Structures are given as C-alpha cells and as structure tokens.
Amino acid sequence: MRASIGWESLNMEVVGEAASGIEAINVIDEMKPDIAFVDISMPFMNGIEFTEVATTRYPNLIIIIMTALDQFEYARRCVSLPVFEYMLKPLVRAEVTAVLTNVKKKLDATLDLESESAAENSPGPEIEPNTIEQIKKFIETGYTDSKINLASVAEQFGFSASYLSRKFKQETGKNFVEYLTECRMEKAIKLAEAGKKMFLASAEVGIPDPNYFGRCFKKYAGMSYSEYMASHAK
C-alpha cells in the first residue's frame, strides 16, 4: 500500500507502520495520525480489539478495516464500532483511492470548520522560517521526552497540528515524525557505538518500547541495534 497508492496526489503521507495491534497502539500514541488501516488478523491484539482501544483514546481517528472474505461478516457484525469503511483483501488500488478521497473530504470539512471557529476568536499566527528553526531546536533538545509529538509541539507553539505538519514539511523537506525519529536515531547510533544495551538506549532517546525502537533503528541504520553495536565494538 505504501508503494502503490498515490499519497502525495491526495495530500497525504504514510507516517508509520506496525506489525501487531499492540505495536500499532504505540505508533498511534507517538504519531497521532488521522487515518489507520487495520487488518482484522493481527498478533496479540486483533483488529477489532485494536479499534475498540484506539477509538476510545482517539475518538476522531478514522479506522479502515481490512479483512479477508471469510472474516467479512464477522467484521460487519461489529457495527457498534466507529469504523469508516470495511475493505476486502486483496485490496484494489482504485478502491483504496476512492475510499481515501472520501476520507479526505471528511477531514477537509472538519479542518474548515475548525478554522472558522479559530477565525472568530483570533486571526491566528503565521509560521515563519525562524519559527520552524525554533521548533527544530525544541525537538533537538526535547526528543528524549517520550511524550513529545506533533500535537504537543503544535500546542506548545500555538498552532494546529495539521497546520504545523504542513508547514514543517514545506520548510524542512521532512515531515515532523521523520525529523523527530532522525534526532532520536542519531543519538541511538552514538549509544550503540558506546556499547549501551538496547533497552537502555531505547528509553534514553524517548522510545520506551524496545520493539518499536528496534524497528526504527534498523530502518534508519540498515542493520539491527545489536549488529550495529557489534560492528562498532572497540
């Protein structure tokens, strides 16, 4: 899906992936996405259980359930869950794009409404390049806090999360999560070179879940934390 969908044409971007329902909750806590594609069959926590937990924490999260034919009726029976759409696997690109187009209309309508409330109260600040530099420095010094994310930084600087996300990408060429992860992984590499154990390094860079940390590190460094540590042992 990451490779086949024209995300940029929809003005969307993929900000995270997860291999299990439990890991997905951690990713959503970290990245605060607008949309989540959820498979019914996931280890440790299935898609229905995940949806119950995720929508309790984030009522505005748009859930799209993916399911095989033999599980479709099971998914449909969960009508009480706030699911935007149920899609049969294997997914068809045109169908996914059509669903995302409908999601975008809903999100845009919500953002327009929020903007009109904001306009009544105040004109709102504009983000300037020097403000982005301040935000970058804020991330560079605060990335060790596991609670730092797009929403918290946007609130800190007085912007909406969606507005900051768009402007940050325009000014830096990277999305917020990429920049935050880059800061964390640069520090993690130094910790690996120093021989620090992975679970300690994970906590020190603001990612308390070692499994999620391990995936981030391997994606960034091209090898696992233990492999990198062994290859740089003094």
pLDDT for res 123: 44
pLDDT for res 62: 93
With vertex at residue 162, the alpha carbon angle to CA 50 and CA 114, rounded to the nearest 5 degrees, is 95
Q: Which token pair is 153? A: 């930084």
CA distance 161 to 174: 15
CA distance 183 to 145: 12
Report whether 165 contacts 175 (CB < 8 A). yes
Burial of 28 from C-beta contacts in 10 A (0-12 / 13-18 / 19+): buried
Tens-binned pLDDT, residue by residue, of the chain (234 aa): 888 888 878 888 888 888 888 888 888 887 788 999 998 888 878 888 888 888 888 888 999 988 887 776 766 666 567 888 888 888 899 999 999 999 988 887 776 665 557 544 444 556 677 889 999 999 999 999 988 888 788 888 888 777 888 889 888 988 888 899 999 999 999 999 999 999 999 999 998 888 889 988 998 999 999 999 998 876
Rg (CA), the chain: 19
Chain-centre distance for alpha carbon 115 = 23
pLDDT for res 113: 62
Domains and CATH numbers, the chain: 8-121 (3.40.50.2300), 125-234 (1.10.10.60)
Q: Which token pair is 194? A: 């120093």
Report whether 88 contacts 99 (CB < 8 A). no
Chain-centre distance for alpha carbon 47 = 17
Residue with tokens 């329902």: 21
